Structure 1
């Protein structure tokens, strides 16, 4: 960013506490910053806000009244995601070219149709559109074209031809694909059909390599410190089970030191799981998470449950952090990262879906779309009818890791409303779980 923020300002703590992301009337914070263009002091405005269906972000806008230089930047206001993200978007019409895109500093963009790539960390994070990404590439290629025509006519002609091809893409003369890859996991593309599935957009999560973790400033020494704090007393499995273990960690919101409580417990007729809860006394942030205590199963599992009576809502349900959920009657699909790992009931998971969608409908400023808000409110109303009127639905959990579970109401096997199917994972699913590169021979 052109305006360098003074080092003595602790933005991550002091400013964030002054700005309420849920308050539409919240004001931006203004500070003096050094303009890297002319060296004079300019003004940087910082605003913490929430992108609908996404997360909290920090918007920064710099303006210098001495040279009129302006610059805008976006940064994630939350933690780095546990996995990186790959997005494959098919552009078939002008409406697709107008989709909003949130990308971080670590997002690489590729258009295979033209063999064109924008490398990671070559551009700052921003809120833009697919058209904006292409237009920015055109502006960059046009820079110094006049001088290039005088020095190297052939290179200038080739660049001009390529610029024309980019203009053709913006006209969508023919369908094309754009690929976005972000090792920080903080990139997203607008779904105009939300909360229904976006047929034109494919999203895959992947485990970062050690080198990619180092690019993000994540080193194994930090993990070893946490593990050491857990293992100092040399707990055995029998001692851990049923006991609550407390260890220090960093808050994912304000990065302050807080405590995480961890407990290993056994789900009847299933397996052991680890339940973790974190509460930050500084900012009040709370998180709950459930992880499998016995690793990845040899096969994936698909659970289908028909819900149309009161007893169905009270079934215990474990959704792991790798589980996809689907309600065909509502044309609703939920990825594994949306709700994370949860141990709850069928009613509890539906309430969590409703709460997640309700909190995502806070459309701010010029981004407000009355049609989307109306559509989302109608969808939330349908979820209310399911909860209060016992409207029949089918809840499907698809977990490639095989670590999800729904309680059966029968003493032996599955009851007539519950169907469990095990399947062999695909190469892509193994890749997402990090199994293809795992070497276990001769250990």
Structure 2
């Protein structure tokens, strides 16, 4: 029943093409209206008030879900509008799709944007806000955006281009697809963020596509308000009880979080930094700091050691063999470096995320970056064994031991003495923790002697 009601979009396209061929041959069609791939409904045009036609197509997008494609056109005034709506429920989590557009073939990828999805292209500082739903391609999004900007500026400037007589009388030629042109192209990123989880970007072949990535996230209260899932006037839910202690336990739990006012380093507005001390079993106490700016969206998370500076550094080596190893908790401090020798990946001290840094540093127009992304995608899926090395001279990083307190057969932990250069870089050579009172008294006495002599 579901397959008949929501046929795949490829099957609908083939059926529509066959109907068009038969109509072109002037052959009487015996197809009933109920069997046609789309339904037509008379609708009121909101621009001129005359009757137009709305066409509805119920179809299924492969590897995605069922959607309703709607197209309205008014023959009286020429107004037309296309929109896509979801036929299913709102997903439990939001989704973020990221696509690295490295070649012109990537411009042909299908894109479904719901009415709650936003599109970002960081390289051009372009953000397309949530609006009507669309079933299009990457090229279609770019052309629609460019055309909208051009039409708006022309309307402001009252700039009407003169049409040649040949173009007015002759046949109108559609522009060639950008994906079919043989011309250099600057790589860019398309990020589609939808808190409803009902948007989609096509991957090539399978989800192991190195240029394609998807992640889910839990919606915030504001997201749920914008989606109409909760009442904005409802009070926040009370925090769960801690250890069954009732209200006193909740109060104690809140007291563990410290708030420090500050200034956003990105936009300058006042923000708060949240700090909390957490004990990691079989490791040590750490301090987690989180900063989130509601004005510009800037976010920063840091992990600091909650105990004394370690006398030695620590190197953790893990042999990753399956998906279970990917679920291990990892804590990487700002002084830790990460290395995966199998894919020649080295993240130096202070690098907390791979993200756009690698992409922006390696855009060179060749296939090397694409090969690296393919290897990184294979590592992410644990398609083949690989090695993860965490090297932290302050021993403030942690990798979960699944066999704790017993030794992990796949993990090796080494401690080593820091070199003078490492201590110098960390500012430890000039740090004196003992006997500094005597040095301060001696320095004070030396300053008093010249004063008495004078």
Please tell me the TM-score bracket, short chain as reference.
Answer: 0.3 to 0.5
